[in-house]
Structure 1
Amino acid sequence: MFPLTILFEDNYLALIHKPAGILVSGNRFKTIVNALPQNLKPSSLNDATKPQPVHRLDYATTGLLLVGKTSSSIRALNQLFENKSISKTYLAVTIGEMDDEGKIKLAIDGKPSQSYYKVLESVASKRFSKLNLVELDPKTGRRHQLRKHLSSIGNPILGDKDYGITDLILNGKGLYLHAYTLGFVHPITNKKMHILDAIPKRFKKLFPALETN
């Protein structure tokens, strides 16, 4: 089984780095769910259970994934998500001219959906005209929400084969979307948690200023 990078772990929960190109769960052998028991320490608590992710990330997306290790913590973490008590930010590389910041409210599958974005840096590109490093704050959690929202305003995510512009799809480099931070109050210890998963190297290669930060 493949190794996972563990960014935080206690008896109740863990935060891990999800690599690109691996399903969180599903019918395949190589999934995050199947790898968790070999990578996390077993909880010593009475209601310990098989580690279980409490949210999803797309196959091509990298970054932070929150995992429960006991039955009570899994229920509590699910409740935090339902109550919108967990803050999430993503980083993406988008194509084309963008406003410095904005709000996207396009409904997805008939359901209200809302995302905020802020451009952190932009660079000129011979092939794509302009590439932007964008911080994203999704206020709802619809399937492919950020990818659909950015595509809807004409700024698809670099490497997005499903929602990109046909002539501007970057092949072979993956999707430039990264789950960057998670913030919440630990449901058992009441400790304020703010976990960051470092900016991927492939993002830094596009924005030289990041290399010095």
Structure 2
Amino acid sequence: MDTEKTHIVPAQVKPTRLQDYGVGIFDSTYTKSALKKAIKKGLIKVNGERASTATMISGGEKITLQGTESNQAHKSFIYRLKVLFEDEYLAVVHKPAGILVNGNTFKTIANALPSNIKPSPLKDACRPQPVHRLDYATTGVLMVGKTSSSIRTLNRLFEQKSIRKEYFAVTIGQMREMSGEISSMINDKPALSEYKVLKTVTSERFEQLNLVTLNPKTGRRHQLRKHLNELGHPILGDRDYYLEGLLLKGKGMYLHAARLEFIHPFTGKSLIIEDDLPKKFKNIFP
């Protein structure tokens, strides 16, 4: 059925472009890319006029979103998630392997959040939404916004690299350098990752396996996976970026988002949220 959703802009300290303000004000515009798509399609109006990404928001405006809503649009996917941290503004959950964070399918982390996350008591509470991505096969910490303002703010913090992310991976082959940087162009944009080898074990099939910690300094799609493959030491179990004859089948990918470190944008507290290594990592590196 056709729907129209409305958002009344509260008083603003200073004017903001719609492409920045509008992230998270509607369930279907919880990322900047989703918002831009809705604006491009002409689905968003400000005070009755078709909006652009450059439309300025200063307070008091009526923003509407036109769309078609399916009968299942707001049904929750009943799927138990481990909640690592939660307050009235945001939450951090463990994302298992083998499930999408969001997308055009019902079985996603986004659709499982309402049955796992407590509703926020704040005035701008909304349906909880992930504010960054993890690949289908990747496990680990995933941050969620619970209010319109927190979704916008957290998106901005990730864009500004104000949230430090740390990953663990198992890589293939004998790595010559125990630590270093990997720099290259990904999708015509500069990408930089730091790595450090923590442990190694010999392997009959792969010569050597390495437990590596990774810190992405930029946020390109598949950055860590591409960078390690470019280095000649792809992630064990990666089905997209691998060396011929060295693809591990049936065990999943050994990439884990282990830690988020940031200053809480609303309470000012310094937070470190960690997620233990999966059992399959510990089986290789006891």
- Does 2:208 align with 1:144? no
Q: Show the counterpart of 1:172.
A: 250
1:66 is aligned, of 132, 143, 163, to 143
Q: Which amino acid aligns with 1:126?
A: E
Q: Show the counterpart of 2:98.
A: 21
Q: Which amino acid aligns with 1:166?
A: E
Q: Show the counterpart of 2:180.
A: 102
Deviation at 1:27, TM superposition (A): 1.3
Q: Show the counterpart of 1:188.
A: 266
Higher alpha-carbon deviation: 151-160 or 77-86: 77-86
Q: Which amino acid aligns with 1:87?
A: R
Deviation at 1:114, TM superposition (A): 0.1
Q: Show the counterpart of 1:132.
A: 210
- Does 2:236 align with 1:158? yes
Q: Show the counterpart of 1:119.
A: 197
Give matches, 1:3-22, under 5 Å. 3-22=80-99
Separation in structure 2 between the aligned mates of residue 29 and residue 83 of structure 1, nearest angstrom:
31
Give the alignment's TM-score, normalised by structure 1: 0.97
Separation in structure 1 between the aligned mates of residue 148 and residue 233 of structure 2, nearest angstrom:
41
Matched position secondary structure for 1:23: coil
Separation in structure 2 between the aligned mates of residue 113 and residue 149 of structure 1, nearest angstrom:
9
Separation in structure 2 between the aligned mates of residue 153 and residue 71 of structure 1, nearest angstrom:
40
Deviation at 1:29, TM superposition (A): 1.1
Deviation at 1:106, TM superposition (A): 1.2
Q: Which runs of 4+ in 1 moved over 3 A?
A: none
- Does 2:160 align with 1:83? yes
Query: Unaligned stretches of 5+ in structure 1?
Result: 209-213
Give the % identical residues: 65
Deviation string 1:33-79 (CA, Å, 9 cap, x unpaired) is 00000100000111000101110000000000000000111111112
Deviation string 1:86-114 (CA, Å, 9 cap, x unpaired) is 00000000000111001000110110000
Separation in structure 2 between the aligned mates of residue 151 and residue 41 of structure 1, nearest angstrom:
40
Separation in structure 1 between the aligned mates of residue 214 and residue 125 of structure 2, nearest angstrom:
34
Q: Which amino acid aligns with 2:212?
A: V
Deviation at 1:2, TM superposition (A): 1.0
Q: Which amino acid aligns with 1:108?
A: I
Q: Which amino acid aligns with 1:134?
A: V
- Does 2:278 align with 1:200? yes
Deviation at 1:28, TM superposition (A): 1.3
- Does 2:129 align with 1:52? yes
Q: Which amino acid aligns with 2:109?
A: I
Deviation at 1:166, TM superposition (A): 2.2
1:37 is aligned, of 99, 106, 114, to 114
Matched position secondary structure for 2:245: helix
Structure ranking higher on relative contact order (CA contacts 8 Å, 6+ apart)? 1
